Structure 1
Amino acid sequence: MARIVIIGAGMGGLAAASRLATLGHRVTVCEASGTYGGMVGRYEREGFAFDTGPGLLALPAVYRDLALKTGREPLEQLVELAPVDPESRHLFPDGSDVVLANASRGGVGRALDAAFGAGAGERWGAVVNRGRTVWEATRRPLLEEPRPAEPVADPYPVPARRGLARWLPSGRHTLADVARRELGGHPGLTALLTEYALRHSLDPAAAPAAATVLPYMEQSFGVWYVRGGLRALADAVYRRCELRGVEFRFGAAAVPVVEDGRVCGVEVGGERIAADLVLSSADPGAAPEAGPTGTPAGGRITVLLALRGARPEGTVHRTVVHAADGERELDALRRGALPERPTVQLLRPDDAALVPDADHESATLTVTVPGAVDPAGFAEHLLEHLAANGVDLRERLLWHETRHTPYVPAPSLAGGPLAPANESPTPGLYLIGGHAHPGGGLARVGMSACITAGLIGPA
């Protein structure tokens, strides 16, 4: 039995603690803040409740595996999990209004044909099919196994070019190239692909074509909602840790202690806690000025909206209002400025647990922004932007709360730089969470815990 200290009680730390304790190790988690969950936070006020981080769950199989491996229970016995259907509604600047089905690529294709004309769904489907090739080639090395020693080549099958284009230099194929060459530069389809990139802190002009794996995963495996908000998932994993005997120390900012070239514990406020192994979910270095795929837009602004009046019948859970001008939005992000009329995600869950009564509604706006910005007044600007696109919530607004997260780690992708390996160069020190392999995102931090627990093994 090893004595293990985990720095950080975010989702990666909780998942690792529950797995390692189940394997028979003695685990202590040190968390600098006063609670667990990390970016999966919760804000409550006047009977309203909000997720302050991600609001939807992709690849629930990661947490299903965690539930089974640490307690032999299906995830659905720990939380109430439901598919989001329709998956999303998209409002485009030309007035197009497209509703996409959840986990139905055929349904997505039909909706795109109806909105943009015959052939649009086929073009999109062809790109997503190539994203499937990426998934099949990279699932094991980039999601299920320790980080490869060498960079992973982008396996995206670039279609053969025709005519004079055959003589142009091929070079590296980016997500922007996919939009231009394979989606024909169609503004609606390009905006749809760009939204996937921005949501994951990626710049389409720098992200490899392998990023098409993101729409493939979502449209193939679906998007899910946890009743009570995603904070309920953090609660469930925390309870599992308690059942497995994990010790928690909150308000305890810990740093690894290295002696004779090896980690021997952590220091917390002048106190040393001895350990055989230390797992850290802290950023191993300063947050880069540009994300792992070249974009400075690694931050996020979240606006929590308390609304009077019941949630209207037939309201879609997730609505995306696309940028008025996609190129201007990307140019602003690259310059480190707030976009004037950006791509906005609006979440409106139908969940009685999040409101004081049936005559109120809670909603959340999310926008990708540069890390160093002043969010003052931006919430009012976003509400005006939504109103101009037919979603006017201003008259119903009781109050709002604005949160700015300066840096959100992007996922590791084939064809681009990879996050640091889980087993660090310092003996006894392991890296977990969004800053480590396989990168950012709720599913990936759960995978980082699984990979690391596998590297350590049973007691």
Structure 2
Amino acid sequence: MPAPVIVVGAGLAGLATACRLAGAGHQVTVLEREPIPGGRGGRIRDQGFSFDTGPTVMTMPSLVADTLAAAGSELDELLPMRKLDPAYQAQYADGSRIRVRSGHAEMRAEIASTSGEHDARGFDDFVSWLGELYDVEMDNFIDRNFDSPVDLVTRPLVAARLLRLGGFGRLGPAVRRFFDDDRLQKLFSFQAMYAGLPPETALALYAVITYMDSIAGVYVPEGGMHAVPTALATAAERAGVTFRYGVDVADVLGSGGKVAGVRLSDGEVLRADAVVLTPDLPVAYRAFFPELTPPWGVRHGTYSPSAVVWHVGVRGGLPADRVHHNIHFGEQWNEAFEALIRRRELMPDPSRLVTVPSATDPSLAPEGCSTLYVLEPVPNLSGDVDWSVETDRMRERLLGFLDREGYPTDVVTEELFTPVTWRHLGMEQGTPFALAHTMRQTGPFRPGNVEPRRPGVFFAGSGTVPGVGVPMVLISGKLAAERVDAWLGKR
């Protein structure tokens, strides 16, 4: 008989874990408190508008394809998507714009026309450098389970190569080696924010996020981003995974020193030989293991800044000079990150992302209307922002910003997510971006995906290895499945 495994949470990490384990022949049950799959990547529907509440940027579709293939399904059938061109449009405080084009030659031409031939040649070298970083990091540091930091010394040649590439230097200076135009410096370093770090001082090895984002390309699935968890859930079900929605897990049970299953909030007991938990790790320890002292990184971790996300359904179409993803850079840069990350205050001159899913898929809004996703980075709840006062002010500032930038502002329906919202949804310190990717919270130094004091308990998600973002969370599910498969094989 296949060993029973329970996965708690049907977000991308839980779904990836379930697909991998089902493909390996295990009997898997996924328990999800919401009525649909998706976790942080959920969906709100109201008055004909569809809002994706989680990630809006889809990169590295090959990782989704690999996950689906592990469960016996194909990407083209379950998750058709297309590459965006441009991937982004960057708008600067001086009124200038640069588009991130799909393809090396196209982006080189864009840089030549906006910033000059010198920076276009720099882009050639930049792409080569990013490609080398990606090749080194993916197999050796990202898509890999570590048992301890000592594992790093098992591949000294790889570490030496990363050192030679300048991966342990700082991202800001590294990017400036290739570009004189400070607009390009911002465009190719802002991705460090995904890792919860200021671009100027983040380790250069996090430029691998820029590779995934701006070089490998940005995609859009048919039906919006919620189509990703929907496709993974479909593949898992086809592979034999049982899903139970609308259920809360109250306890993780043990017997004879090993995990024995879970108890639901209504008292029902489900037996299992392994349990994979996908909530943020501090949340999981408080809920399920209050008798244990969590690992140091869980207790004392540094968390990423948060974000305000305003989902807005408006009457009116997108102006001709806007695209699917629009980045509006503030004039201040280092000063804004100093306020956000060091002083934990609102950015004095914020940069913002405006995604317009209905620009690519009109089915996400009623005819003649648009679906907008407006994001501004803000401090997590360790800061001193009083959201009982600031929420209404933030909404008015964002409305004024949209109006100034020419977006439609005749609001039909809206949902404003603040750090308080994220905390209510179970995200530690009110941030959807989990632990920041500081050096002490990366690779083998990040909280692990195994709880050795409760044999048979494993973790997946952005709070554990390898980290934050759709690609990383999918890999997290793969790494957790490898742990479970090895554990069950020893029994």
Q: Could you state the TM-score of these two structures normalised by the residue count of structure 1?
A: 0.86
Distance 1:98 1:312, change over 3 A: same
Map 1:37-56; keep pairs closer than 5 Å. Answer: 37-56=38-57
1:412 deviates by: 5.6
Distance 1:258 1:45, change over 3 A: same
Q: Which whole-Å CA distance do the structure 2 matches of 1:340 and 1:28 have between them?
A: 47
**Partner SS, residue 370 of structure 2:** strand
**Matching of residue 174 in structure 1 with residue 183 in structure 2:** no
**Partner SS, residue 220 of structure 2:** strand
CA displacement, residues 50-77 of structure 1 (integer Å, 9 cap, x when unaligned):
1111123111111111222212x32110
> Are the equivalent residues in 2 in contact too, given 1:291–1:298 (CA < 8 A)?
no
> Are the equivalent residues in 2 in contact too, given 1:112–1:120 (CA < 8 A)?
yes
CA displacement, residues 313-346 of structure 1 (integer Å, 9 cap, x when unaligned):
5641111001221122102212111213311111
User: Any stretches of 5+ residues in structure 2 without a counterpart?
Assistant: 153-158, 285-294, 423-429
**Partner SS, residue 71 of structure 2:** helix
- In structure 2, the residue matched to 1:163 is none
- In structure 2, the residue matched to 1:345 is 353
- In structure 1, the residue matched to 2:131 is 132
- In structure 1, the residue matched to 2:183 is 188
**Matching of residue 360 in structure 1 with residue 369 in structure 2:** yes
Q: Percent identity?
A: 26
- In structure 2, the residue matched to 1:60 is 61
1:397 to 403, 411, 425: 411
**Matching of residue 207 in structure 1 with residue 202 in structure 2:** yes
- In structure 1, the residue matched to 2:156 is none
Richer in helix (by share): 2
Q: Which whole-Å CA distance do the structure 2 matches of 1:362 and 1:191 have between them?
A: 27
- In structure 2, the residue matched to 1:377 is 393
Distance 1:284 1:416, change over 3 A: closer
Distance 1:424 1:297, change over 3 A: closer
Tell me whether 20-29 or 206-215 shows the greater mean CA deviation: 20-29
**Partner SS, residue 273 of structure 1:** strand
Map 1:271-286; keep pairs closer than 5 Å. Answer: 271-285=268-282
> Are the equivalent residues in 1 in contact too, given 2:350–2:376 (CA < 8 A)?
yes
> Are the equivalent residues in 1 in contact too, given 2:189–2:210 (CA < 8 A)?
no
Distance 1:241 1:431, change over 3 A: same
- In structure 2, the residue matched to 1:164 is none
Letter in 2 for 1:376: D
Letter in 1 for 2:205: A
- In structure 2, the residue matched to 1:322 is 329
1:384 deviates by: 2.6
Q: Which whole-Å CA distance do the structure 2 matches of 1:261 and 1:215 have between them?
A: 44
**Matching of residue 332 in structure 1 with residue 327 in structure 2:** no
- In structure 1, the residue matched to 2:318 is 311
1:415 deviates by: 8.3
Distance 1:240 1:296, change over 3 A: closer
> Are the equivalent residues in 2 in contact too, given 1:141–1:148 (CA < 8 A)?
no
**Partner SS, residue 76 of structure 2:** helix
> Are the equivalent residues in 1 in contact too, given 2:133–2:165 (CA < 8 A)?
no
Distance 1:429 1:291, change over 3 A: closer
- In structure 2, the residue matched to 1:218 is 213
Q: How many residues align?
A: 442
1:231 deviates by: 0.8
Distance 1:205 1:395, change over 3 A: closer
- In structure 2, the residue matched to 1:446 is 474
Q: Which whole-Å CA distance do the structure 2 matches of 1:44 and 1:132 have between them?
A: 39
> Are the equivalent residues in 1 in contact too, given 2:42–2:52 (CA < 8 A)?
yes
Q: Which whole-Å CA distance do the structure 2 matches of 1:309 and 1:271 have between them?
A: 50
Distance 1:2 1:343, change over 3 A: same
Q: Which whole-Å CA distance do the structure 2 matches of 1:318 and 1:207 have between them?
A: 24
Q: Which whole-Å CA distance do the structure 2 matches of 1:12 and 1:394 have between them?
A: 35
CA displacement, residues 147-185 of structure 1 (integer Å, 9 cap, x when unaligned):
3632755815457xxxxxxxxxxx95121332455545x
Q: Which whole-Å CA distance do the structure 2 matches of 1:353 and 1:363 have between them?
A: 13
Distance 1:452 1:296, change over 3 A: closer
Map 1:71-86; keep pairs closer than 5 Å. Answer: 71=72, 73-86=73-86
- In structure 2, the residue matched to 1:422 is 449
Q: Which whole-Å CA distance do the structure 2 matches of 1:314 and 1:41 have between them?
A: 29
1:308 deviates by: 1.1
**Partner SS, residue 119 of structure 1:** helix
**Partner SS, residue 381 of structure 1:** helix
- In structure 2, the residue matched to 1:266 is 262
User: Any stretches of 5+ residues in structure 1 without a counterpart?
Assistant: 160-170
RMSD of aligned Cα (Å): 3.1
**Matching of residue 433 in structure 1 with residue 461 in structure 2:** yes
- In structure 2, the residue matched to 1:89 is 89
**Partner SS, residue 82 of structure 1:** strand
Q: Which whole-Å CA distance do the structure 2 matches of 1:141 and 1:376 have between them?
A: 46
**Partner SS, residue 147 of structure 1:** coil
- In structure 1, the residue matched to 2:247 is 251
> Are the equivalent residues in 1 in contact too, given 2:98–2:114 (CA < 8 A)?
yes
